[in-house]
Amino acid sequence: MKEDFPSLDLHPSLFQYHRSQLIPFTPSKMSQEDLISFNRVTIVGPGLLGASIAMSLKKKGIAREIWVWLRNEQKKELCEQSEWCDRALVDLRDAVSDSDLVILCTPVELILDQLTKVSDWLKPGCIVTDVGSLKKEICQRADEVFRDKKIYFVGSHPMAGSEKTGMRFASSSMLEKKNCIVTPTQQTNSKYLNKITRMWETLEMKVTRKNPEEHDEIVGWISHLPHLIASVLINTVGGKDSTWMNLSGNGLKDTTRIASGNPTMWTEILMGNRENLNISIDHLIENLKDMKSALASEDSGKINKLLDSAKIKRDQLNDN
């Protein structure tokens, strides 16, 4: 049985939720006036990332109530039995109509459709954000549907997740020390941009602001290209002789881990960012040609230089 927050004079954001108890919580580098809370947050699509966000919001005391919308009636009871979900619904309008914050955690194409739908259902003053991996179209759609309404959209992309999918792999710690890119446009209200920024920071994410076009270019290189490479590499090795893969060490496994991601979702992502991705592929091909040429000419000095450059860059990469 769930318990309501007890009657306290203290601000609810000073507490984190854990096993139906309130535990004092103070985010680092935040003043008292920076602390935020929402009476009701709706998570639209409680999959791996959506459920992890819900868990973290509840744990940090940012949300008094967390409602979720899901398409699968069979998962409704499972959600409501969890400590982080107060109510689960299969009707999107009912799920979002009285919320203070709505977080769209579905695939990009669904987010685009849902933005149009919820624009007629949300109460004035509601904030909407999302976790979509492509931002240009999403932010354009949000600017269009919310332009003449007192509803405030701030695009977000938490760079957290796993090759595994589904609510059962969710974790309240999944967001911690991970990057989050927020994507304001000229129409974005600075007050709500700051509020969403503080929310992600309270969830212990490292927040960077980029415009939607910059975001899509950046993730084309740092996220979408690596996934494509991992998929092409495992297909190349497996296409030679699939039995050889059983003899591999961690190198092949570590390099291709992300290729286990959902193919349908990743097809949509790669197609949606194909212009930026094609540019990054051209650069990759040129680098492969350099290495192939050095091998053909037995230029060990150049090979060592290329490998040394790669080692320096990889050693500088933050593994948190």
Tens of pLDDT along 237-259?
A: 999 998 999 999 999 999 999 99
Q: How far from each other are the two terminal CA atoms of the chain, in whole angstroms?
A: 36
Mean pLDDT lowest among 3-7, 218-222, 315-319: 3-7
The β-bridge relationship of strands 21-24 and 15-18 is antiparallel
Query: What tokens were used for 115?
Result: 């933005």
b/e map of 117-149 (b: 16 or more CB within 10 Å)? ebbebbeeebbbbbbbbbbbbbbebbbebbeee
CA distance 252 to 215: 29
Higher pLDDT, 167 or 65: 65
Q: What is the pLDDT of residue 15?
A: 31
Nearest to 157 by CA among 87, 90, 93, 207: 207
Nearest to 304 by CA among 291, 315, 287: 291
pLDDT, tens digit (0-9, with 9 covering 90-100), for 57-96: 999 999 999 999 998 877 888 888 888 999 999 999 999 9
Q: Convert 170-220 into a string of H (helix), E (strand) and C (coil).
A: CCCCCCCCCEEEEECCCCCCHHHHHHHHHHHHHCCCEEEECCHHHHHHHHH
With cut-offs at 50, 70 and 90, classify the pLDDT of residue 152.
very high
CA distance 221 to 224: 6
The β-bridge relationship of strands 101-104 and 127-130 is parallel
Query: What tokens were used for 167?
Result: 């609510």
- What DSSP line would sit under 37-96, residue for residue? -EEEEEEES-SHHHHHHHHHHHHHT-EEEEEEE-S-GGGHHHHHHSTT-SEEES-HHHHH
Q: Convert 263-300 into a string of H (helix), E (strand) and C (coil).
A: HHHHHHHHHHCHHHHHHHHHHHHHHHHHHHHHHHCCCH
SS3 content of the chain, % helix, strand, coil (to 5): 50, 15, 30
pLDDT, tens digit (0-9, with 9 covering 90-100), for 179-198: 999 999 999 999 999 999 99
b/e map of 186-196 (b: 16 or more CB within 10 Å)? eebeeebbebb
Dihedral Cα 280, 284, 290, 292, nearest 10 deg: -160
CA distance 212 to 181: 10
Domain ranges of the chain: 12-210, 215-316
The topology (CATH level 3) of 215-316 is: 6-phosphogluconate dehydrogenase C-terminal fold (1.10.3660)
Give the CATH number of domain 12-210.
3.40.50.720
Mean pLDDT lowest among 14-23, 160-169, 281-290: 14-23
Residue 217 has pLDDT above 90, yes or no: yes
The residue whose two tokens read 């998962």 is 75
pLDDT, tens digit (0-9, with 9 covering 90-100), for 3-53: 333 322 333 333 333 333 333 334 445 444 456 789 999 999 999 999 999
CA distance 227 to 269: 10
